[in-house]
């Protein structure tokens, strides 16, 4: 009797690197980690700079200014009582100055009107980060945020190329829309595009690869949201993320040394995807960012 043909899934082993390649990659990773430390410690767009979140909810427009009745009340030099309005128009934000003397900085240029899918603008010393995610909100960032005093650096597992892979994406034959829950309770939609199959110390692992269906994100913006046996102990309790990089040969670089914590690990004002149940690994991924305990 002829047996049916079964296509076996190939589980990728860690990439093999020459000493020169490994040395160059280690130096690059250390540079990236130092840059991340500096960014969190002092950048005006740092998660620690964020002092408030204002969700649109059922409103289409939020008013920003120094007057007591503004939706987003900010006080400081250069702010007018009724400074500007931000309106949600489909997948875009429309920003319009209200006071005749009011302007805002967009791409470092003073303006009175602008349209954007997402992004940031400056009003006085404050940065307004316009976030859509199909749940539009304004996040306010202040270079004088008291949260900068809480800075205590970042922590990382030692660099370990046993967690670095070059592997194919196993495509989902029928890409389907799934719901990714978030830390603020929102149900965010994503496309399940496929899976990565790989070996961790000889154990077979599979991770779902998703593309969030949100304004400003394209077909190449793939994400892997995952939990592992370090989650809640050595790494952040919600989970971690790693962004696969597509290579010229069509395969992907999946390097867990680049795994990072979501923004909500540092600030309560962010809305972060929670890893799906399918992406709870039975192995420990001791690579990438650890939990530096900014939230607990």
Q: Which residues contact residue 140 at a Cβ distance below 8 angstroms, ignoring those fewer than 6 apart?
A: 50, 51, 52, 53, 54, 72, 74, 126, 127, 128, 129
Task: Cite the DSSP H helix spans in the chain.
Answer: 19-42
Token pair recorded at residue 191: 């496309």
Residue 50: per-residue pLDDT: 98
Residue 296: per-residue pLDDT: 67
Instruction: Kindly state the percentage of the chain with pLDDT values over 70.
Output: 97
Are 44 and 147 a contacting pair, CB within 8 Å? no
Mean pLDDT in residue range 151-158: 97
Distance CA 167, CA 95 (A): 43
E strands in 161-202? 164-167, 170-181, 187-200
Are 260 and 289 a contacting pair, CB within 8 Å? yes
Residue 9: per-residue pLDDT: 67
Domain ranges of the chain: 19-42+152-279, 49-142
Token pair recorded at residue 254: 């999946």
Confidence band of 1 (pLDDT split at 50, 70, 90) = very low
Q: Which of the residue ranges 7-16, 55-64, 88-97 would you say has the lowest mean pLDDT?
A: 7-16
Residue pLDDT, tens place only, 89-145: 988 999 999 999 999 999 999 999 999 998 999 999 999 999 988 899 999 999 999
Q: Whose CA is closest to 232, among 295, 167, 154?
A: 295
Q: Is the pLDDT of residue 256 over 80?
A: yes
Residue 219: per-residue pLDDT: 86
Q: Is the pLDDT of residue 22 over 90?
A: yes
Pick the CATH number of 49-142 from 3.30.430.20, 2.60.120.1360, 2.60.200.20, 2.40.420.20: 2.60.200.20
Residue 4: per-residue pLDDT: 39
Q: Are strands 72-73 and 61-65 parallel, antiparallel or unpaired?
A: parallel
Q: Is the pLDDT of residue 64 over 70?
A: yes
Are 180 and 210 a contacting pair, CB within 8 Å? yes
Read off the pTM: 0.91
Are 210 and 223 a contacting pair, CB within 8 Å? yes
Q: Is the pLDDT of residue 224 over 50?
A: yes
- Count CB-CB contacts under 10 A for residue 217: 17
Confidence band of 277 (pLDDT split at 50, 70, 90) = very high
Distance CA 272, CA 223 (A): 12
Distance CA 106, CA 123 (A): 9
Residue 3: per-residue pLDDT: 37
Mean pLDDT in residue range 30-40: 98
Mean pLDDT in residue range 29-57: 97
Q: Whose CA is closest to 259, among 151, 153, 172, 155?
A: 155
Residue 5: per-residue pLDDT: 39
Token pair recorded at residue 256: 């867990």
Residue 131: per-residue pLDDT: 93
C-alpha pair distances (Å), 68 with each of 52, 77, 104, 186, 240: 16, 16, 20, 29, 39
């Amino acid at each position: 009797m002829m047996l049916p043909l079964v296509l076996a899934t190939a589980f990728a082993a860690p990439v093999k690197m020459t000493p020169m390649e490994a040395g160059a990659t280690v130096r690059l990773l250390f540079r990236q980690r130092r840059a991340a430390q500096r960014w969190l410690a002092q950048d005006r767009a740092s998660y620690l700079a964020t002092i408030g979140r204002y969700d649109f909810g059922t409103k289409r427009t939020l008013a920003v200014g120094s007057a007591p009745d503004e939706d987003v009340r900010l006080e400081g030099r250069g702010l007018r009582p009724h400074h500007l309005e931000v309106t949600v128009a489909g997948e875009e934000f429309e920003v319009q100055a209200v006071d005749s003397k009011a302007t805002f900085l967009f791409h470092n240029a003073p303006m009175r009107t602008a349209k954007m899918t997402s992004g940031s603008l400056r009003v006085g010393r404050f940065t307004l980060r316009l976030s859509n995610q199909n749940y539009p909100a304004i996040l306010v960032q202040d270079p004088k945020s008291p949260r900068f005093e809480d800075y205590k650096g970042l922590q990382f597992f030692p660099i370990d190329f046993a967690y670095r892979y070059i592997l194919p994406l196993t495509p989902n034959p029928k890409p389907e829309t799934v719901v990714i829950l978030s830390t603020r309770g929102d149900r965010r939609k994503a496309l399940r595009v496929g899976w990565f199959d790989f070996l961790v110390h000889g154990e077979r692992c599979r991770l779902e690869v998703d593309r969030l269906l949100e304004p400003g994100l394209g077909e190449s913006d793939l994400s892997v949201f995952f939990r592992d046996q370090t989650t809640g102990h050595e790494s952040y309790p919600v989970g971690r993320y790693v962004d696969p990089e597509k290579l010229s040969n069509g395969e992907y670089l999946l390097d867990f040394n680049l795994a990072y914590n979501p923004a909500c690990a540092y600030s309560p004002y962010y809305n972060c995807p929670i890893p799906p149940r399918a992406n709870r690994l039975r192995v420990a991924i001791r690579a990438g960012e650890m939990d530096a305990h900014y939230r607990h």
